[in-house]
Amino acid sequence: MAHLSAAQAPGETVANPLTLSFSPPCGLRGDFLPGVPHPERVAVACDGQVLATVAVHAGASGASFTCDLPPVAAPTQVRVEVRDAGRMLGGLTVTNLPKRNLGGLDALSVHKVCDRPLFSVPWMQFDGAILTVSGAHLPPAGNPDLLSVQFDEGVRYTFDHGLRSPEFANHFWYWPNADLSNFVLTIDLAGSRPGCDPFRFEFRYPGEEKGLGDVPAPLRRIGQRISIPSDLALTVCFPRDATQLTRVQTWSNDQSVTFTGYSTFRAIEALFAHYGVTPGPGVEILDWGCGHGRVTRHFIGQWREARISGADIDAENVAWCSENLRGRFTTVPLFPPTDLPDASFDGIFGISVMTHLTEEAQAAWLDEIARLLKPDGIALITFAGAAAAAFSSVFRPDPWWRDWVARGFDDAQHDPALDGKIGDDDYYRTTVQTTQYTIEHWSKHVDVVGVIPHAIGYQDMAVLRRRR
Ligand SMILES: C[S@@+](CC[C@H](N)C(=O)[O-])C[C@H]1O[C@@H](n2cnc3c(N)ncnc32)[C@H](O)[C@@H]1O
């Protein structure tokens, strides 16, 4: 059971008449006396690590703030401190918080590995004039007020955010105020200025570029950019087999697959452009692990002069693509080589494929990707890194987490999505790896030009070239 214990130690509150209180399981509240000046926002730290920056709201009986602390670290107690621009306003020692998940993993260990706020934007609805986009975005530094979206000038929209999100709160158990993650974005197409682009926006918040110093400046926000398909007819064509959709994305419907596929296409296109791969006659692109063409279809539709190919180990989905999409589709074996010719592709992308492979299979496919790339070609290959580990942390026991952080790689978990569909039911895994591991091990096979954290959803992107 979680209980409040302890109170402020004498002399801890500096000058400000701030009263802190705590209600189990996680609720921290601070009250300033009426009529006394108070900061607009305060920083909340647990055991010295600032977790949240929350707004102070003025009311008739004085100003106050609330903050749902995540379950916190330390074996028996945590020190909570409230600060204003580094100045201590108050402190409180809380014991017996639900500080760990069921596997004994503490929240601060997860937060240390991934302190970027994750988001998911699966829903889109259009009624002829108003486009509604909804999803969830973890409050940056625990504060929904810090989040905004940016559109082209002239776009008319409203952004309701900081809405209750019990599911996100459960999943992102380590994040402060994760239960205030939901948003609804309402875009008034008819009311927007002609010529502006209401189909793209990006999330913005202070500190968004923290830790991205090695990433080229134009690519730093690539993962925060959402692109909406303006041609809603794109949604109509998907496999109707019960599992053909869901074994590509664990949770699916036509609309979300269209939306995420299109947004991913735009991100890959921007990355390719940055590295010199643009549409044109004779340009060859390979979607490695194409599934049912969630992303491939947009290359086929938009890069009309290029030759677009898809390859997958899932013969049923490859057959569906061959019948329903223009483009060349090939079933490939679980381990290379493939029949595809040497040095034939300007660009290869692989979304959420390495995330399912063992160490041995990753190594073999990196060699194959190097063989298939033209000398100046570029490969964009995602892997499940820190954000993916944080996303699944609710299920991870503490020993697993420690081992993973130390070793940097885990491919032990079986993923049943392709059971019965490929020759070896032991092949498909849920693989999670750190950036450090990825650079060190993948560099034995290819040049790792860079890594872009959170480039595609919760996955990181490795930018690869043939070794020179
Ligand atoms: C999570 S799905 C992603 C599909 C697609 N890239 C997308 O983003 O929609 C992973 C896909 O990779 C395929 N796959 C797994 N291992 C592969 C391999 N070694 N070579 C080619 N495809 C593979 C699976 O069959 C599956 O279609």
From the CB of residue 194, how many other CB atoms can be counted at a distance below 10 Å? Answer: 5
Identify the residue whose C-alpha is closest to ligand 1 atom 12.
Answer: 289
Average pLDDT over every residue of 19-26: 78
Q: In the structure, what pLDDT confidence band is assigned to residue 33 with cuts at 50, 70 and 90?
A: confident
CATH number for the domain running over 219-465: 3.40.50.150
Identify the residue whose C-alpha is closest to ligand 1 atom 15.
Answer: 353
3-state helix, strand, coil in the chain (%, to 5): 25, 35, 40
Instruction: State if residue 314 touches ligand 1 by the CB under 6 angstroms criterion.
Output: yes
Topology, domain 18-99: Immunoglobulin-like (2.60.40)
Identify the residue whose C-alpha is closest to ligand 1 atom 16.
Answer: 353
pLDDT tens track for 332-366: 999 999 999 999 999 999 999 999 999 999 999 99
Q: Where are the domains of the chain?
A: 18-99, 119-204, 219-465
What's the 51 CA to ligand 1 centre distance in angstroms?
Answer: 36
What's the 309 CA to ligand 1 centre distance in angstroms?
Answer: 14
From the CB of residue 366, how many other CB atoms can be counted at a distance below 10 Å? Answer: 24
Q: Which two tokens stand for residue 259?
A: 């939306």
Residue in 253, 243, 287 with CA at minimum distance from that of residue 382: 287
- CA distance linking residue 30 with residue 437, whole number of Å: 43
Are 72 and 97 spatial neighbours (Cβ–Cβ below 8 Å)? Answer: yes
Instruction: State if residue 372 touches ligand 1 by the CB under 6 angstroms criterion.
Output: no
What's the 58 CA to ligand 1 centre distance in angstroms?
Answer: 52
Q: Which residues pair with 307 in a beta bridge?
A: 284
Instruction: State if residue 388 touches ligand 1 by the CB under 6 angstroms criterion.
Output: no
Radius of gyration for the chain, computed over Cα atoms and rounded to the nearest angstrom: 24
What's the 421 CA to ligand 1 centre distance in angstroms?
Answer: 12
- CA distance linking residue 100 with residue 112, whole number of Å: 14
Task: Give the predicted TM-score (pTM) of the model.
Answer: 0.83
Average pLDDT over every residue of 372-376: 97
Instruction: State if residue 321 touches ligand 1 by the CB under 6 angstroms criterion.
Output: no
pLDDT at position 411 over 70: yes
Q: Which residues pair with 185 in a beta bridge?
A: 133, 159
pLDDT tens track for 298-310: 999 999 999 999 9
pLDDT tens track for 232-247: 665 557 777 767 777 7
Q: Which two tokens stand for residue 154?
A: 């002239």
